Structure 1
Amino acid sequence: MSSAQIGLIGLGTMGAMLSLNIAEKGFPVAVYNRTAARTRDFVANAGELAANIVPAKSLEEFVAAITPPRNIILMIPAGEPVDEQIAALRPLLDGDDLIIDAGNANFHDTDRRARDAAAAGVPYLGIGVSGGEEGARHGPSIMGGGTQAAWARVAPVLQAIAAKYEGQPCAVYMGPDGAGHFVKTVHNGIEYADMQMIAEIYGIMRDGLGQDAKRVGETFAAWNGGPLRSYLVEITGEIGAATDPDTGRPVLDIILDRAGQKGTGRWTVIEAQHLGAPIPVIEAAVTARNVSAALATRKSGEALFGAAPSGLPAGAVSDAMLESALIAGKVMCYAQGFDLLRAAGTAFGWSLPMPAVAEVWREGCIIRSAMLNDMATALADDADRNLMFAPYFADLVGRHVPALRKTVALALTHGQPVPALSAALTWFDMMRTGRSTANMVQAQRDFFGAHSFERVDRDGAHHGPWGDQA
Structure 2
Amino acid sequence: MSQADIGLIGLGVMGENLALNIADNGYKVAVYNRTADKVDSFLSGAGDLSDNVMGSADLAKFVSMLKRPRSVIIMVKAGGPVDSVIEQLKPLLEKGDVIIDAGNANYHDTVRRFAELDGTGIGFLGIGVSGGEEGARHGPSIMVGGSEDEWHNAEDVLNAIAAKFDGESCCAYLGTGGAGHFVKTIHNGIEYADMQMIAEIYGVMRDGLGMSPAECADVFREWNKGPLDSYLIEISSHVLDAVDEESGKPLLDIIVDQAGQKGTGRWSAIEALNLGVSATTIEGAVAARSISAMKDERIAGEKLYGAAPKGKAKLDLKTLEKALLAGKIAAYAQGFAVMAKASEENGWNLPLDQIAKIWRAGCIIRSRFLDTISQSFASGTAANLLTQPAFVEMMKDSNGALREVVAGCAMAELPTPCLSSALAYFDGYRQANGTTNLTQGQRDFFGAHGFKRYDKEGDFHHSWPSLIEK
Contact 2:6–2:30 (CA under 8 A) maintained in structure 1? yes
Which residue matches 1:201?
201
SS in 1 for 2:54: strand
Where in structure 2 are the equivalents of 1:419-458 lying within 5 Å?
419-458=417-456
**How high is the TM-score relative to the length of structure 1?**
0.98
Which residue matches 1:295?
295
Which residue matches 2:95?
95
- Alpha-carbon distance in structure 2 between the residues aligned to 1:2 and 1:467: 83
Letter of the 2:436 counterpart: A
SS in 1 for 2:244: coil
Which residue matches 1:338?
336
SS in 1 for 2:119: helix
Q: 2:377 aligns with which of 374, 379, 382?
A: 379
SS in 2 for 1:31: strand
Which residue matches 2:112?
112
Contact 1:131–1:364 (CA under 8 A) maintained in structure 2? yes
Which residue matches 2:461?
463
Which residue matches 2:395?
397
**How high is the TM-score relative to the length of structure 2?**
0.98
Which residue matches 1:317?
315
Contact 1:221–1:237 (CA under 8 A) maintained in structure 2? yes
The CA deviation at 1:154 is: 1.1
Contact 1:127–1:144 (CA under 8 A) maintained in structure 2? yes
The CA deviation at 1:214 is: 0.2
Contact 1:354–1:383 (CA under 8 A) maintained in structure 2? no
- Alpha-carbon distance in structure 2 between the residues aligned to 1:119 and 1:296: 53
SS in 2 for 1:145: strand
Which residue matches 1:32?
32
Deviation string, structure 1 residues 273-321 (Cα, Å, up to 9, x no partner): 11001000010000000000111111111111111111125xx211111
Letter of the 2:24 counterpart: E
- Is 1:68 matched up with 2:72? no
The CA deviation at 1:123 is: 1.1
Bigger mean CA deviation after superposition, 135-144 or 38-47: 38-47
Deviation string, structure 1 residues 173-230 (Cα, Å, up to 9, x no partner): 0000100000000000000000000000000000000100000111001100000000
Which residue matches 1:144?
144
Where in structure 2 are the equivalents of 1:185-334 lying within 5 Å?
185-312=185-312, 316-334=314-332
Which residue matches 1:42?
42
- Alpha-carbon distance in structure 2 between the residues aligned to 1:348 and 1:111: 11
Letter of the 1:410 counterpart: G
Letter of the 1:278 counterpart: S
SS in 2 for 1:110: helix
Letter of the 2:38 counterpart: R
Letter of the 1:427 counterpart: Y
Where in structure 2 are the equivalents of 1:130-169 lying within 5 Å?
130-169=130-169
- Alpha-carbon distance in structure 2 between the residues aligned to 1:145 and 1:448: 45
Aligned-pair Cα RMSD in Å: 1.0
Letter of the 1:24 counterpart: D
Contact 1:77–1:103 (CA under 8 A) maintained in structure 2? yes
- Alpha-carbon distance in structure 1 between the residues aligned to 2:63 and 2:246: 47
- Alpha-carbon distance in structure 2 between the residues aligned to 1:386 and 1:46: 47
Contact 2:97–2:121 (CA under 8 A) maintained in structure 1? no
The CA deviation at 1:468 is: 2.7
Contact 2:192–2:286 (CA under 8 A) maintained in structure 1? yes
- Alpha-carbon distance in structure 1 between the residues aligned to 2:446 and 2:57: 67
Which residue matches 2:170?
170
Which residue matches 2:360?
362
Contact 1:355–1:383 (CA under 8 A) maintained in structure 2? no
- Alpha-carbon distance in structure 2 between the residues aligned to 1:122 and 1:69: 10
Where in structure 2 are the equivalents of 1:118-133 lying within 5 Å?
118-133=118-133
SS in 1 for 2:72: strand
Letter of the 1:415 counterpart: E
- Is 1:14 matched up with 2:14? yes
Gap regions ≥5 residues in structure 1:
none
Contact 1:99–1:123 (CA under 8 A) maintained in structure 2? yes
SS in 2 for 1:153: helix
The CA deviation at 1:57 is: 2.3
Q: Deviating runs (4+, > 2 A) in structure 1?
A: 467-470
Which residue matches 2:415?
417
The CA deviation at 1:2 is: 5.3
Letter of the 2:135 counterpart: G
- Is 1:23 matched up with 2:30? no
Deviation string, structure 1 residues 44-99 (Cα, Å, up to 9, x no partner): 22111122100212001101111111111000011010000000011111222111
Letter of the 2:438 counterpart: M
Contact 2:93–2:122 (CA under 8 A) maintained in structure 1? no
SS in 1 for 2:142: strand
The CA deviation at 1:467 is: 3.6
